[in-house]
Amino acid sequence: MIETQSLAKTYGRGMYALKELSLKIDKGEFVFLTGPSGAGKSTLLRLLLLEERPSEGEVMVNGRNLSHLTRDETQAYRRTVGFVFQDFKLIPTKTIFENVSFVGRVLGKPIEQQRQNTYQVLKWVGLQHRLNALPEELSGGEQQRVAIARALVNDPHLVLADEPTGNLDPDLSLEIMNLFRDMNSRGTTVLVATHDRELIKWVGRRVITLDQGLLVGQEPRP
Amino acid sequence: MTVVGYSFEEAWISLLRSGRSALVSIGTIAIAFATLGGFLLISVNVQGVLDQWLQAAEMSVYLHDTISESDRAALESFLKAQPAVAAVEYVSRERALERFRADFPELSDVTSGLGQNPFPSAIEVRLRTENGGDAAADALSKEVAGQAGVSDIRYDRRWLARLVGIVTAARLAAGVVAAILMLGAAFTVAAVVRLSLFARRDELEIMKLVGAPFSYIRGPAVVEGLLLGGIGAAVALGVIAILYSTLSRWLGSDLAGYAGIGQLRFLGITESVMMLLGGVGVGAAAGTVASRAAR
C-alpha cells in the first residue's frame, strides 16, 4: 500500500525533517507513527497527502510514485485518501451535515448520494442527532468525530491522522481510537501519528518510531 | 451538482458576504462602463448627424454673371456625366435671392437696401456618398474650377471630412480613457475576489485536501468576477438610460433641432448587449486572474 525508499525532506539550508526513510505499510494495516516533536511524523503525513514533495527518494502508494503526479493527478489521488488533523479543520460557517456533505459536493456527486453517504457516516460516528449544529456548538471530541466522518464519507482506501487526539482528554481519545479501529476492521488502511504512548499501548498495533527524521524503531518488526 | 451550478451558488453567497467591498467593486465597474456608454451614446448620435450631413453634402459651383447660356449648358452636361454626381440643379440669381428671403425673413431688409441682387447664379451638385466618392468629388472640384464661366466652388465635404477626422480622434481618445477606467475596474474586481478567496481560505484548503478538481476550487472566483462585472455594466446601462431619458425630455428637441436630425437616439440592442458582455468579460477575466491565488 505505502512504500518509501530513501525518502528525505529538507527545509532551508539542508535541515533534514526526514532522512533516508525506507518503510513499508501493507494494505489493511493499522500503523502508529510516533516519536518526539520534530521527529518528522507530520512531514511524512504531508508527503503522503502531497502537501509537499520529497527532496530525495520516493513515495509509492498503491504502486504509484507520488513524486511525478501532475496537479490534476494529485487531486485525483487525494480523493482516495482521507485525512484527520489535530485541529479538526472544520468550516465554522457550515453545519455538521454541510461540513461532511461538502466533500461529495465539491467532487460533483449527485445530491441524493451526497445526503445518503453523509447521513450514514454521521450515524456511524454517533452524531446523527447533531446534523444542523455548527462546529462551535460541539465539544472537541464531537468535532473530531465530524472530521473523521468527513475523512470517511468518500470511502477512501487510506486514512491519515495527524495527532487526532492531541486536543482531547483520555476518555474521548479512546472513543476516537475505537472509530479508527472500526474503520480499519472494514479494510481501510490507517496511519495515525501520535506521541501518546499510552494510547498506542491500549490499541496495540504496529508502531513506527521516528526521531530527528530517522527511522529508529519498528514494533513488531516487519 | 455541476461545477457551474456550484460556482454560481458559492459566488452569490460570497457576493452577499462581501457586502460593502462588492458594492465598491460594482460601483467602479459601473463608473467605467457609464463613461464608455456615455461616449458610445454621444458617438452614436454624432455619427447619425454626420451621416445625414454627409448624405446631404453638396458642391456649389458659382458662376460669373457674364457666363453664356451655351457655356452654362455645357457645364451642366459635363457635371451630369460625372460618376460622382447624383443630381445637378441650376439656381439662378433670382432664385438664390428668393431662397435667402424665405430662409432668413428677418434679414430681408438687408437685401432690399442694397438695390441690386448680390447673389451669383450657381449650379448645385449633389454628390454620391458611396465608397470612393470623396476622392472622385475632390478631383471633380479641381476639374470644374478650370472651366469657363466658373467663379468659385464651395465644397461641403472638405470641412465635413475634417469634422469626421476630429470625431474619430475624439472617439479614439474616449476609447483610451474608457480602457484605462476599465483596467482600474478590473483591478478592483480582482482585489474583491482575492478578499473573498482569503475569507474562504480554510474552505479552499479543505477542498484541495479532499481532492476537489481545480474547476471547483477556482470556479466560484471566476463567477464572482463575472457577476461583479455584469452587475456593474447593467447598473451603468441603467444610469445612462435614466440620464438619456431626462436629457432628451429637457433638451432633446432643441438638440435634435440644432443638429438637424429628427430625434436623438439611445444605444441600440447591439451596443447594449456589447456593454453587458464587456462587463461580464472584464469581470470574468479579473476573476480568473484573481483565482490563480487559489493554488
pLDDT in tens, B89-131: 899 888 888 888 887 777 777 777 777 888 899 998 887 766 5
Report the pLDDT value the prediction gives residue B223, as an integer from 0 to 100: 93
Report the pLDDT value the prediction gives residue B257, as an integer from 0 to 100: 63
pLDDT-derived band of residue B252, with 50, 70 and 90 as boundaries? low
Spell out which residues of chain B touch residue A107, defining contact as CB-CB under 8 Å: 210-213, 216
Four-point Cα dihedral A130, A132, A136, A142, nearest 10: 20
Cβ distance B214 to A71 less than 8 Å, yes or no, reads yes
Cβ distance A106 to B2 less than 8 Å, yes or no, reads no
pLDDT-derived band of residue B142, with 50, 70 and 90 as boundaries? confident
Report the pLDDT value the prediction gives residue A180, as an integer from 0 to 100: 86
B6 reaches A (C-beta below 8 A): yes
How does the average pLDDT of chain B come out, rounded?
82
Instruction: Find cell 454626381 and name the residue.
Output: B85
Report the pLDDT value the prediction gives residue B227, as an integer from 0 to 100: 92
- How close A201 comes to chain B (CA, Å)? 30
Q: Which domains does chain B have, with CATH numbers?
A: 3-53+161-291 (no CATH), 65-148 (3.30.70.3040)
Cβ distance A91 to B203 less than 8 Å, yes or no, reads yes
For B216, nearest residue in chain A (alpha carbons): A106
Residues lower than pLDDT 70 in chain A: 221-222
CA distance B198 to B293: 9
**Inter-residue contact B117 to B94 (CB < 8 Å):** yes
Query: How many interchain CB pairs under 8 A, A with B?
Result: 56
Sign of CA dihedral B132, B138, B141, B146: negative
Flag whether pLDDT at B4 surpasses 80: yes
Residue pLDDT, tens place only, A2-53: 999 999 999 887 788 899 999 999 999 999 999 998 889 999 999 999 998 9
**Inter-residue contact B224 to B14 (CB < 8 Å):** yes
Cβ distance B210 to A71 less than 8 Å, yes or no, reads no
- Record the pTM: 0.69
Identify the helix (H) or strand (E) that includes residue B242.
Answer: helix B214-250
B208 reaches A (C-beta below 8 A): yes
Give the residue with greater pLDDT, B158 vs B72: B72
Find the angle CA(B276)-CA(B279)-CA(B280) to the nearest 5 degrees: 90
Mutate to test the interface with B, among A106, A118, A134 (most CBs of B within 10 A): A106
Report the pLDDT value the prediction gives residue A104, as an integer from 0 to 100: 87
- How close A15 comes to chain B (CA, Å)? 26
Cβ distance B211 to A78 less than 8 Å, yes or no, reads yes
**Strongest mean pLDDT among B93-107, B135-149, B220-234:** B220-234
B209 reaches A (C-beta below 8 A): yes
Flag whether pLDDT at B11 surpasses 80: yes
Cβ distance B211 to A83 less than 8 Å, yes or no, reads no
Cβ distance A106 to B212 less than 8 Å, yes or no, reads yes
Flag whether pLDDT at B58 surpasses 60: yes
In B131-155, which residue ranges form alpha helices assigned H by DSSP? 133-145
For B200, nearest residue in chain A (alpha carbons): A91
Identify the helix (H) or strand (E) that includes residue A188.
Answer: none
**Inter-residue contact A119 to B245 (CB < 8 Å):** no
Average confidence (pLDDT) over B1-17:
85
B213 reaches A (C-beta below 8 A): yes
Spell out which residues of chain A touch residue B292, defining contact as CB-CB under 8 Å: none
Report the pLDDT value the prediction gives residue B255, as an integer from 0 to 100: 66
Spell out which residues of chain A touch residue B2, defining contact as CB-CB under 8 Å: 108
ipTM of the complex: 0.85
Spell out which residues of chain A touch residue B216, defining contact as CB-CB under 8 Å: 106-108
**Contacts by A201-205, CB closer than 8 A, 24 or more apart:** A202/A174, A202/A177, A203/A30, A203/A32, A203/A177, A205/A29, A205/A30, A205/A31, A205/A32
Mutate to test the interface with A, among B2, B6, B206 (most CBs of A within 10 A): B206
Mutate to test the interface with B, among A46, A51, A73, A75 (most CBs of B within 10 A): A75
Residue pLDDT, tens place only, B128-138: 766 555 677 77
Residue pLDDT, tens place only, B75-88: 889 888 888 788 88
For A91, nearest residue in chain B (alpha carbons): B203
Cβ distance A108 to B213 less than 8 Å, yes or no, reads yes
Report the pLDDT value the prediction gives residue B29, as an integer from 0 to 100: 83
Cβ distance B210 to A107 less than 8 Å, yes or no, reads yes
Strand ranges across the sheet with A189-193: A81-85, A158-162, A189-193, A30-34, A206-211, A214-219
Report the pLDDT value the prediction gives residue B134, as an integer from 0 to 100: 66
For A78, nearest residue in chain B (alpha carbons): B211
